[in-house]
A = this chain, B = another copy of it.
């Protein structure tokens, strides 16, 4: 029993993919694949209310969860804590407990602080489920799941002979952390991590990975290239000298992609900085699965909400 699973091993919240058992992860992916294939579930959560509770804004992630909830027939509420001037100093806990008291059973929570969503889950009542829609640089489990679903569709179930490269600002990326947890759980053959030294974590995150600052080396022969978004704050912080330099050293171009395996696929969690970490030709090219990731996002979130709230 953990914060996110009950004594019977059933998922109560989805906070992280770290230590999520392989069976649980695969079950979510299997069900998500059914939803991606168009399974109808409009009555699954009829009468159940879910609320997006975003302390950090993200319109796209919110829309994806809303669409997932709609496809399950749930009632959807939104609390935009990031732009709301109306919480009037209320704590996140009070906000959660209040909306919970309104009869809302599912919360989709995004927060800029590491661990903030888990801390809220500690406060939740027995019947309430939280989904972490991104907290600090810690975790973004539904992004990790949708990336795995996308890769499974492209590569098949067996990741053990595949090579994966994760490229960019790994240090500040919750997406990278969730992807790493999931790839390890699914038995990924080789995981390479690449980025400028200033953007690579030194905290054990990369245990077991091949780490390099040389993009050409990272790409050599890989089956999968998972690009990360470069936040512009990294320049203000002095971690990156300029967008031009970053693009020259870590931008994925068609020429560079040719170093990967012939049918290598490219992922990006969006929103993209076109011309910085990725060129238009790659983003919109035949090897890009970027829009497929977005489509799978709805399916994965349906599977998660259904598993937690049914």
In angstroms, how far is the closest chain B Cβ from the Cβ of A14?
19
- Tell me the interface secondary structure of chain A in the complex: mixed
What is the CA–CA distance of A103 and B57 in the complex, to the nearest angstrom? Answer: 22
Q: Besides the contacts A42-B47, A57-B85, A64-B102, what 8 more A-B pairs have beta carbons closer than 8 Å? A: A40-B47, A49-B67, A51-B63, A58-B86, A90-B270, A90-B272, A94-B270, A101-B294
A34 at interface by CB-CB < 8 Å: no
Interface residues of A in 277-291 (CB under 8 A from B): 291
In angstroms, how far is the closest chain B Cβ from the Cβ of A114?
20
What is the CA–CA distance of A89 and B276 in the complex, to the nearest angstrom? Answer: 12
Contacts of A292 in B (CB 8 A): 101
Interface size on A, as a range, is 35 or more
CB pair A298 B102 closer than 8 Å: yes
Chain A 76-104, CB-CB to B under 8 Å as 1, else 0, gives 01011001111111110010011101111
CB pair B67 A84 closer than 8 Å: no
Partner of A295, one of B84, B91, B101: B101
A253 at interface by CB-CB < 8 Å: no
Chain A 291-310, CB-CB to B under 8 Å as 1, else 0, gives 11011011000000000000
Most chain B CB atoms below 10 A, which of A60, A71, A83: A60
So how many copies of this chain end up in the complex? Answer: 3
A10 at interface by CB-CB < 8 Å: no
List 25 A-B pairs, Cβ < 8 Å.
Answer: A49-B70, A57-B84, A58-B86, A59-B80, A59-B84, A60-B86, A60-B99, A64-B102, A66-B77, A67-B75, A70-B75, A71-B75, A88-B271, A89-B273, A90-B270, A90-B272, A91-B274, A97-B291, A98-B270, A98-B294, A101-B292, A101-B294, A102-B298, A103-B295, A103-B298
In angstroms, how far is the closest chain B Cβ from the Cβ of A71?
8
What is the CA–CA distance of A295 and B40 in the complex, to the nearest angstrom? Answer: 32
